[in-house]
Structure formats: structure tokens, C-alpha cells
């Protein structure tokens, strides 16, 4: 989960950097034919950008905590099932080994035993692959859900604040930030308030 959020955070930050570059790089000042003092040009609109600390959101947004708990539970379930399947193979192997050591296993039975153990091993590997895929799908769905909720809230939040961009701060990508534009606390508070009614359903 942590790796997924980190990757997503880097992608968002890179996208924000690209948008900033294109916003300022492609914006050319056009000479105005209007010599009056009043202008309604969108180019005179103030550029405002807010940011939030993704680590703080991940640590304090209740949905993220819920998803972490859900994924941890899933990981435990996978580990439990794989241990059970591994023990089944080990027990079967020990059973046939004891028969062989006591001289009660014919060559034909030994070949059948090898085939049975191989079949169990193949089934265990196939099951592990299926469980891993199910886990990956669940993780992707839940992380997408978190991302959409944050994006949705940022859009709603910005309807009252009119920022040009709201970005996720990534250490190492941005070298300076004015903490006056840090909206992390408001974002976390708003997300948790908005999420509570959904959680009770």
C-alpha cells in the first residue's frame, strides 16, 4: 500500500510539474490594444497554487486506514491459506516417505506418489498466482477509490478558493513551498467529514 501511494504521489507531482512548466512556458504576453485601465483578460488573473502533504493524508484519512487494514487482512488470509497448502504437501510427502522407509511402497506406488505430490505442488502454485492477482485487483480498486475521493474533494474545495492548481507535495521534486498555501489539515478534515456518512451505510 505504501509503495502504491508513493508511486501515485510521484506521478501526481511529475504531472503537476509538467503542467506548471507548460502553463508558464507557453504563456506569452500579448500587447493590449486597450489603453484603458480596466481589463477583464484572463491573463491578468492571479496564479494561485495550494498543496497538501500526501504522507499526512495517508496517515490521517480514515479511508486510507480502512484500506490498509483491509489489505493487511487479505495478506494474512493469503499467508494462512498458503501455509495450509504447504503443510498438506509436506504431510503427504512425509506419509509416502515413511511407507518407502518401511518397505511398504512399491515402485508403481512410488511413481503414483510422485505424481500426486507434483499435482498438489502445481495446484498450490496456481492458487498462489490467483490469490496474488485477486489481491492486486483489490489493491488497485481501493487505491483508485482513495484517489477519486481526494480528487473529488479537491474539486469541491476549490470551488470556493479558486486555486489554479492543488498539488501533492513531493520532497525532492519541489525545493521551496510557502506553508501559507498548505491545505493538508483542511483536506484531511473535509475528507473525513465527507467519508463518515458513506462509512455508516
Q: With respect to residue 1, please indicate whether it lies within any of the assigned structural domains.
A: no
Burial of 154 (0-12, 13-18, 19+ CB in 10 A): buried
Q: With respect to residue 136, please indicate whether it lies within any of the assigned structural domains.
A: yes
Q: With respect to residue 28, please indicate whether it lies within any of the assigned structural domains.
A: no
C-alpha to C-alpha distances, 110 to 101, 119, 140, 197, nearest whole angstrom: 12, 14, 45, 62
Q: What is the pLDDT of residue 37?
A: 44
Read off the DSSP letter of residue 171.
B
Q: With respect to residue 149, please indicate whether it lies within any of the assigned structural domains.
A: yes
Q: With respect to residue 187, please indicate whether it lies within any of the assigned structural domains.
A: yes
Model pTM? 0.69
Say what percent of the chain tops pLDDT 70: 75
Read off the DSSP letter of residue 53.
E
Residue carrying the nine cell digits 496517515: 59
Q: With respect to residue 6, please indicate whether it lies within any of the assigned structural domains.
A: no
Q: Could you tell me the residue range of the domain that residue 162 belongs to?
A: 48-199
Domain count, the chain: 1
Read off the DSSP letter of residue 8.
H
Q: With respect to residue 19, please indicate whether it lies within any of the assigned structural domains.
A: no
Q: Which residues is 168 bridged to in the sheet?
A: 52
Q: What's the grid cell of residue 65?
A: 486506514
Q: What is the pLDDT of residue 150?
A: 94
pLDDT value at 94 more than 70? yes
Q: Please indicate whether residue 175 or residue 183 has the higher confidence score (pLDDT).
A: 183
Q: With respect to residue 15, please indicate whether it lies within any of the assigned structural domains.
A: no
176: confidence class by pLDDT, cuts 50, 70, 90: confident
Amino acid at each position: 500500500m505504501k509503495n502504491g501511494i508513493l508511486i501515485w504521489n510521484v506521478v501526481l507531482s511529475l504531472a503537476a510539474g509538467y503542467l506548471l512548466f507548460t502553463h508558464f512556458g507557453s504563456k506569452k504576453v500579448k500587447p493590449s490594444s486597450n489603453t484603458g485601465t480596466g481589463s477583464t483578460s484572463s491573463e491578468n488573473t492571479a496564479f494561485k497554487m495550494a498543496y497538501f502533504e500526501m504522507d499526512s493524508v495517508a496517515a490521517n484519512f480514515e479511508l486510507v486506514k480502512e484500506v490498509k487494514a483491509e489489505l493487511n487482512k487479505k495478506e494474512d488470509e493469503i499467508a494462512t491459506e498458503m501455509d495450509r497448502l504447504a503443510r498438506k504437501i509436506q504431510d503427504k510427502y512425509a506419509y509416502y516417505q515413511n511407507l518407502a522407509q518401511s518397505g511398504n511402497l512399491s515402485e508403481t506406488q512410488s511413481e503414483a506418489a510422485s505424481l500426486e505430490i507434483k499435482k498438489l505442488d502445481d495446484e498450490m502454485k496456481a492458487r498462489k498466482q490467483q490469490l496474488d492477482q485477486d489481491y492486486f485487483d483489490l489493491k488497485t480498486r481501493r487505491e483508485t477509490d482513495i484517489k477519486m475521493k481526494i480528487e473529488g474533494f479537491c474539486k469541491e474545495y476549490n470551488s470556493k478558493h479558486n486555486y489554479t492548481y492543488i498539488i501533492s507535495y513531493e520532497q525532492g521534486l519541489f525545493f521551496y513551498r510557502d506553508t501559507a498555501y498548505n491545505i493538508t489539515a483542511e483536506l484531511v478534515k473535509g475528507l473525513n467529514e465527507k467519508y463518515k456518512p458513506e462509512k455508516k451505510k
